[in-house]
Structure 1
Amino acid sequence: MNSSKPVIAAGSVAAAAAPRRRRALAPLEPVSARARWMLGLGFFVVFVVVWGFFTLGGFVSPTFLASPVTMVKEGISLFTEFNFSHDIGMTVWRVFGGFVLAAIIAVPLGIAMGTWKSVEAFFEPFVSFCRYLPASAFIPLLILWAGIGEAQKLLVIFIGSVFQITLMVAVTVGSARRDLVEAAYTLGAKSRGIVLRVLIPGAAPGIAETLRLVLGWAWTYVIVAELIGSSSGIGHMITDSQALLNTGQIIFGIIVIGVIGLISDFAFKAINRRLFAWSTI
């Protein structure tokens, strides 16, 4: 009689585990933080294994795609022989410099457009038009206007970010809950109080999320800016490596951009969670 109890207990554990496995594959079912990290890391492991299989196995010529081992060796040489840390620092400075300039102008303008419909009617057609213009198309003009120095690169990132942030912030502010606005009016709030105490606090988590997303786009603009008329930066290194057919250095530069962008994204998320712990974003 006693010997049957462990068997029954094991059977009950297996039966309970089966629904949990089914729930893990259900649509919109959340996963634990540990499982999320393991799954995310697992993809990178699979990616590197497949990459190494085709390159180290001789299926792809090293001229067209370096192996993971070669890429690591070239990355080490970039730091030890070519002062790659300086290039990284210049690229990070350009991204955040142009992005901050865009945010300083775009966030207030977006709040104004979302708050007052007359302001939105005045600015929205022009902002929407400019949003579709590729920032890279302005590079020839910016070189004529600002030369090939830092101002030109900052302006490329500024142009690529400012219109996106403006419209996204305007939409976030304009979608405020009407019942909260009416309640504030009922309690005696004036227009200034509505903006400062209802609209902006309610839209703040969404604005922060907008800035996080557009910061990722800014990384694509800086590489385009550095490909032309630049003597430093990750994009400059990639251009030089392309001329030498050094795919190992090219891939390493691309990976460095992804790693820095991922770190900045995680940092932005952590700051947003700390500042807006009450929000679901």
Structure 2
Amino acid sequence: MTEGRVIPDAASLPATRDAGLRRRPSAVGGAFRLRAALPRPWGAVIAVASSIAILALWEFVARLGLTTPLFFPAPSEILAAMGRMFSTQHLAWHAWVSTLRVWGAFLLAAVMAIPIGMAMSGFRPVGAALEPAIDFIRYLPVPALVPLSIIWFGVGEETKIFLLWLGTFFQLVLLVADDMRRVPNEYFETAYTIGASQAQALKDVAFRAMLPSLIDNLRITLGWCWTYLIIAEIVAADSGLGFVIWAARRYMKTPEVMAGVVLIGVIGLATDQLLRAIHRRAFRYL
């Protein structure tokens, strides 16, 4: 002991080192620790393997006759029905029409929700004026508003876009307001110190600071927009995946119904993965 410090015995050092090695988790067990990192290739392998396992189990159960094909067809029957629909029912064109409708309504909702949400969070009087009405409307069920939308807009394309917008805008505007609320006040104070105006603080400071979480929220609400597609496309529609699904349901063609549903899921999954890849590339510092 020198001046209050204890110098460990050299003999104890190997034991300490060995104990640390014993406490270190293995590569396999470490992946199951709370919030442990998972190598990206392993994540893709696990995702593909689990999806194949689910489909194989589904096919096996259907082939054993444990389900009724009319209500729960096998994945192979759904895939065959999808192939027939692509070749004889112009399924690719219907998917394109639905994609345009969803993206049109979603972009309209985003263009409106981003400035309104930022204003609600940045200026307290705006938030106090708008938040009660937005909270009220976002709890209204969209299917219940279908008759009103027909009265207001008729049975044309405007009604479909309105219903998709309605299911997206009021959720998104509150998420944008929350993103704006999380921007630290120190950012604004620093901007004002160097002579920035309010408009510059909003555009160059707040918007850039909230951009990573904003893109994540846009990705989530795009998925919500797709969930309202069937509701929007049963309103006097003659095109779109919702129309295809609804027409097949009328004749109890369950494989075709599920083929349309699966195609919506595939388009949504592909879009989501693309947006996630863009997010990772754009914000590598996170």
TM-score, scaled relative to structure 2: 0.88
- From 72, 85, 107, the equivalent of 2:114 is 107
Distance in 2 between residues matched to 1:226 and 1:70, nearest whole Å: 25
- The residue aligned with 2:241 is 234
Distance in 1 between residues matched to 2:221 and 2:232, nearest whole Å: 17
- The residue aligned with 2:6 is none
Distance in 2 between residues matched to 1:98 and 1:196, nearest whole Å: 24
Which of structures 1 and 2 has the bigger CA Rg? 2
State the Cα distance separating 1:57 from its structure 2 match.
0.9
- The residue aligned with 1:77 is 84
State the Cα distance separating 1:191 from its structure 2 match.
2.3
State the Cα distance separating 1:54 from its structure 2 match.
1.4
> Please, what is the CA RMSD of the aligned residues?
1.8
State the Cα distance separating 1:17 from its structure 2 match.
11
In the alignment, structure 2 segments of 5+ residues that lack a partner are 1-21
- From 161, 166, 170, the equivalent of 2:173 is 166
Distance in 1 between residues matched to 2:272 and 2:71, nearest whole Å: 31
Output aligned runs, 1:62-211, within 5 Å.
62-211=69-218
Whether the 8 Å CA contact 2:163–2:232 is kept in 1: the answer is yes
Secondary structure, aligned partner of 1:43:
helix
Distance in 2 between residues matched to 1:159 and 1:188, nearest whole Å: 40
State the Cα distance separating 1:190 from its structure 2 match.
3.1
Distance in 1 between residues matched to 2:127 and 2:26, nearest whole Å: 51
Output aligned runs, 1:21-100, within 5 Å.
21-100=28-107
Whichever residue aligns with residue 141 of structure 1, its letter is L
TM-score, scaled relative to structure 1: 0.89
Whichever residue aligns with residue 59 of structure 1, its letter is L
Whichever residue aligns with residue 192 of structure 2, its letter is Y
State the Cα distance separating 1:196 from its structure 2 match.
2.2
Q: Deviations over 1:81-122 (max 9, x none)?
A: 111112111111110011111111111111111211111111
Distance in 2 between residues matched to 1:162 and 1:63, nearest whole Å: 37
Output aligned runs, 1:8-23, within 5 Å.
19-23=26-30
Whichever residue aligns with residue 202 of structure 1, its letter is A
- The residue aligned with 2:270 is 263
State the Cα distance separating 1:43 from its structure 2 match.
1.7
Whether the 8 Å CA contact 2:114–2:176 is kept in 1: the answer is yes
- The residue aligned with 1:276 is 283
Distance in 1 between residues matched to 2:284 and 2:29, nearest whole Å: 31
Runs of 4+ in 1 over 6 A off after TM superposition: 15-18
State the Cα distance separating 1:123 from its structure 2 match.
0.8
State the Cα distance separating 1:187 from its structure 2 match.
3.0
Q: State the number of aligned residues.
A: 265
Whichever residue aligns with residue 60 of structure 2, its letter is F
Distance in 2 between residues matched to 1:150 and 1:125, nearest whole Å: 30
Q: Deviations over 1:181-205 (max 9, x none)?
A: 2222333333233222221111112
Whether the 8 Å CA contact 2:142–2:163 is kept in 1: the answer is yes
Distance change (3 Å), C-alpha of 1:18 and 1:245: same
Distance in 1 between residues matched to 2:91 and 2:81, nearest whole Å: 11
Q: Deviations over 1:39-79 (max 9, x none)?
A: 11122111111111111111111111111221121111101
- The residue aligned with 2:11 is none
Distance change (3 Å), C-alpha of 1:97 and 1:16: same
Distance in 2 between residues matched to 1:142 and 1:171, nearest whole Å: 29
Distance change (3 Å), C-alpha of 1:18 and 1:100: closer
